[in-house]
Amino acid sequence: MGTNGQNVLERRRAEALVKRPELPETFVAPAGDIYETSDAFVVKLDMPGATTEAISLNVEPGHFFVRARLGSYHGDRAAILMSEIGRKSYFREFNLGRGVNHNAVQAQFADGVLTIILPKTEESKVREIQIKS
Amino acid sequence: MLVRFGFPRMLDDLLEDVSSSDFAPVTRRFPAIDVAEYENEFVAIAEMPGIKKEDLKITFENDVLTLKGERTPYEIPQDAKVLLNEMRVREFERSLQLPSDIDAKNISAELKDGVLRVVLPKAENARARQIEIR
């Protein structure tokens, strides 16, 4: 097991090796929730207006990113009276620890919310140690 | 009393003018709304991720469209640890005054992929007419 110092360097190295995706010109980072259970990390992202087809999720060792390109809500002949949404794409990137089995990641999209389930590897699951008397 | 404006104006804008202080945190309104005008109708688009049909109530009264609802929290296992919590909105209510007479009986709404689309047809007397020159 490495010390904390080594972990930081390893992470930096992993980050340096990551291929950065080409960013869309205007994008927003979707708001998200993350929680951890005994066997997975669950990431939820608010992505209203996206569709299953428009979303791409790239998972690689060390990181993953989500992006979606969005079309306009309005027709060509629309006169826009109020614009709070604007036209935008979504992009957000997360680092992944080594404890995630990146080959078994699952995702689903419902009601404008993307849910990504990142299962933990067997080795990284918390084990309770029996104390022998 | 409601005042008719040339453009759609949010009632909560007016309230905020009165109640805002220098110390109030900047909060993003929910849901964010776009309004587009077409020849025969207005279309209001509201982004509301995580909202289901049964969580939302839409009313139209005196030219004012009101969206009211609540985002029900999703369930997480009891032993789960929360690592990030940015999805904060629970209850919301926004009102929007339309600038022209609306055919209220024919308003329709659709909620899909977290986006609400309300189509408000203009009343017959509010539609643009081409005048023939004799």
User: Contacts for B106-111 with beta carbons within 8 Å, 24 or more apart?
Assistant: B107/B60, B109/B58, B111/B48, B111/B51, B111/B52, B111/B53, B111/B56
What pLDDT shows up at residue B113?
Answer: 93
Closest to B71 measured CA to CA, from B127, B30, B109: B30
Q: Residue B115: which of A41, A44, A112 has the nearest Cβ? A: A112
Contacts of B52 in chain A (CB under 8 A): 111
Is the Cα torsion angle A59, A65, A66, A70 positive or negative in sign? Answer: negative
Cβ pair B101, B83 in contact under 8 A: no
Q: What is the mean pLDDT of residues B53-65?
A: 93
Which of A111, A115, A116, A128 is the best mutation test for B, with the most CBs of B within 10 A? A111
- Give the total residue count for chain B: 134
Q: Which residues of A107-125 are buried (b: 16+ CB within 10 A; e: fewer)?
A: bebebbbbebebbbeeeee
Q: What percent of chain B has pLDDT over 90?
A: 51
First to last CA, chain B: 43
What pLDDT shows up at residue B65?
Answer: 95
Kindly give the residue spans of alpha helices, DSSP state H, lying in chain B: 11-19
Contacts of B76 in chain A (CB under 8 A): 35, 37, 42
Contacts of A38 in chain B (CB under 8 A): 77, 79
Instruction: Say if residue B1's pLDDT is above 60.
Output: no
Complex ipTM over 0.90:
no
Say whether A125 sits in a helix, a strand or coil: coil
Q: Which residues of A50-72 are buried (b: 16+ CB within 10 A; e: fewer)?
A: beeebbebebeebbbbbbbebee
Cβ pair B31, B114 in contact under 8 A: no
Contact state of A48 with B43 under an 8 Å Cβ cutoff: no
Cβ pair B127, B106 in contact under 8 A: no
- Region A28-69+88-122: CATH code: 2.60.40.790
pLDDT 10s digits, A10-67: 666 666 655 556 665 678 889 999 999 999 999 999 999 999 999 999 998 888 999 9
Mean confidence (pLDDT) of chain A: 84
pLDDT 10s digits, B83-134: 999 987 789 999 999 987 899 999 999 999 999 999 999 998 877 777 888 8
Contact state of A50 with B113 under an 8 Å Cβ cutoff: yes
Contacts of A32 in chain B (CB under 8 A): 84, 86-87
Distance between CA A88 and CA A90 in Å, rounded?
A: 7
Instruction: Say if residue B10's pLDDT is above 70.
Output: no
Say whether B87 sits in a helix, a strand or coil: coil
pLDDT category at A5 given cuts 50, 70, 90 is low
Instruction: Say if residue A113's pLDDT is above 70.
Output: yes
Cβ pair B95, B65 in contact under 8 A: yes
pLDDT 10s digits, A52-109: 999 999 998 888 999 998 888 999 899 999 888 876 789 999 988 888 888 899 999 9
